Amino acid sequence: MKLFSFNIIFFLSISLSGFCQQTLIHPKEKIKILLLGTYHFANPGQDKFNVKVDDYFSEHRQKEIQEVNNSLAKFKPEKIFTEIGVRFQPEVDEMYQKFKSGKVELTKGYVNEKFQIGLKLARQLNNERFYGVDAGGLWFEDKVKRYADSTGMGFYAAFEKATQNHVEYLNNYFSTHTVKQNLLLLNSKQEQLEQNHYIYNYILSRVGAGDNYIGADLVGEWYKRNLRIYSNILKFVDTEKDKRLLVIFGNGHMHILKQLFEDNPDFEVVDATKFLK
């Protein structure tokens, strides 16, 4: 019976593999996708550790943002995806068309990176649309912390202290460097892997292991949110026409999104730092 079941599963796996190869439409050339990890130009204070920023609507910061946009424009992305909820796409479409035609301009309330880089760059390139692809998700790190503290997990307290020290370093760095220099730092492999993904892969996953798995469950929720973002991006991709895409999201999302697109045979991930230097 076990041998019979194995043969059925093996047959199905081979059949489905052949079916996928025959029915999926792959682009003649891989679609180039540039993943830009950012920090929040107008920090909403929703993260556990929040980087402080100065006035990004000031004259010198606006010039720096335009310098970044001019650099990214050389990539010539045909579609730009940002950290705006996908459910707001009708409103995003309406706003973009008004902004594109010059009927409205961005006020100080739209100082965040979604608009200052994403929306402005889309207009600069005369793109047809501008996309919001974010997805909501559960986040219960406060419960993870309480569990870690109550069970004497000293590594969690050490992680919090180290993270706070790193945020203070970023606060100082961001305040004394240009927007382009800040983005170059964030999009380095060390920053994305060791300072961001490390939290999920090495710290949170250990909390509650062998017991209630509260840490692993939180990491699972984070992966689920990013998988939904990835799915939303794919929804808007035309594999027969699209050549170059730009994704602008908080830097914490980048490692997982990069992994997903690198594993997708339709895409070629482009190093963001090449267009920021």
Could you read off the pLDDT of 149-205 as tens digits, one per residue? 999 999 999 999 999 999 999 999 999 999 999 999 999 988 877 778 889 989 999
What are the DSSP calls for 91-134, one per residue?
HHHHHHHHHHTTS----GGG-SHIIIIIIHHHHHTT-S--EEEE
Check pLDDT > 80 for residue 81: yes
pLDDT attached to residue 21? 52
pLDDT attached to residue 247? 98
What are the DSSP calls for 4-27, one per residue?
HHHHHHHHHHHHHHHHHHHHS---
Residue 266's identity, in one-letter code, is D
What's the mean pLDDT when you consider all of the chain?
A: 90
Strands 244-250 and 79-85: parallel
Sheet with 131-134, side-by-side order of all strands? 131-134, 79-85, 244-250, 31-38, 267-270
The ranges assigned to domains in the chain are 32-275
What's the rounded mean pLDDT across residues 238-267? Answer: 96
Q: CA 74 to CA 121: how far, in whole Å?
A: 11
Where do we find the tokens 């025959």? 22
Check pLDDT > 90 for residue 83: yes
What's the rounded mean pLDDT across residues 59-84? Answer: 98
Give, to the nearest 10 degrees, the angle between helix 154-176 and helix 179-186: 150
Helix, strand, or coil (residue 43): coil
Check pLDDT > 70 for residue 84: yes
Report percent pLDDT > 90 for the chain: 78
The phi, psi pair for 268, rounded to 5°, reads -125, 115
- Per-residue CA distances from 194 to 179, 217, 235 (Å): 22, 21, 31
pLDDT attached to residue 197? 87
What's the rounded mean pLDDT across residues 84-94? Answer: 98
pLDDT attached to residue 190? 80
Report percent pLDDT > 70 for the chain: 88
The phi, psi pair for 122, rounded to 5°, reads -60, -40
In the chain, the largest separation of any two C-alpha atoms, in whole Å, equals 74
pLDDT attached to residue 23? 55
Check pLDDT > 80 for residue 15: no
pLDDT attached to residue 152? 92
Residue 174's identity, in one-letter code, is F
Q: CA 266 to CA 238: how far, in whole Å?
A: 11
pLDDT digits (tens, 9 = 90+) for 23-61: 566 777 999 999 999 999 986 555 555 678 899 999 999
Other C-beta atoms closer than 10 Å to the C-beta of 63 total 11
> How much is the pTM?
0.89
Residue 82's DSSP bridge partners are: 132, 248
pLDDT attached to residue 46? 53
Other C-beta atoms closer than 10 Å to the C-beta of 133 total 22
